[in-house]
Amino acid sequence: MPTHETIDAYIADQPDAVRPTLKRLRTVIKQSVKGAEELISYAIPAFRLSGRVGLFFAGWKDHVSIYPVSDAVLTELGAELDPYRVSKTLRFPLSKALPVHLIQKVAKARAKELSAMKPVKRASKKPSRKKR
């Protein structure tokens, strides 16, 4: 499995049929969650929201996916997600138009959930002790 340094590199490495949908999905998420930081995590594109890596997306042969669909997102959006939900994943078939409005809602709900969590504690560097 190839590793990519950036989301642009990930998308460029996908089949021609998947690239436009991935680009659109990325744009919708970025516009929905202002200030989200893009990165590659677990070898797929991700967004850091409120200091946490919390929303992933990926391309497949016949669909694109968003991960994870948390309990909080399920509670907020419920049955709207049913046509696309497979466990903790949303799958959007390439054969149909991307449900932009729903993706916006998912991204915003996930950002809201993550912002309500306790801040992420960053490891602090402890001064090294010199041996005498």
pLDDT tens for each residue of 62-107: 999 999 999 999 999 999 999 999 999 999 999 999 999 999 999 9
- Whole-angstrom distance, CA of residue 73 vs CA of residue 108: 9
Whichever domain contains 74, its CATH number is: 3.90.1150.200
pLDDT mean over 15-42:
95
Torsion angle of the four alpha carbons 36, 69, 117, 44, in this order, in degrees rounded to the nearest 10:
-40
Confidence of residue 2 (pLDDT cuts 50, 70, 90): low
Give a yes or no: residue 40 inside a domain.
yes
Give a yes or no: residue 124 inside a domain.
no
In three state form, how does the secondary structure of 51-82 look? Answer: CEEEEEEEECCCEEEEECCCHHHHHHHHHHHC
Domain containing 58: what range? 7-115
pLDDT mean over 51-68:
94
Give a yes or no: residue 131 inside a domain.
no
Q: State the pTM of this model.
A: 0.84
- The answer to whether 7 and 38 have CB atoms below 8 angstroms apart is yes
- Whole-angstrom distance, CA of residue 50 vs CA of residue 113: 9
Average per-residue pLDDT for the chain: 89
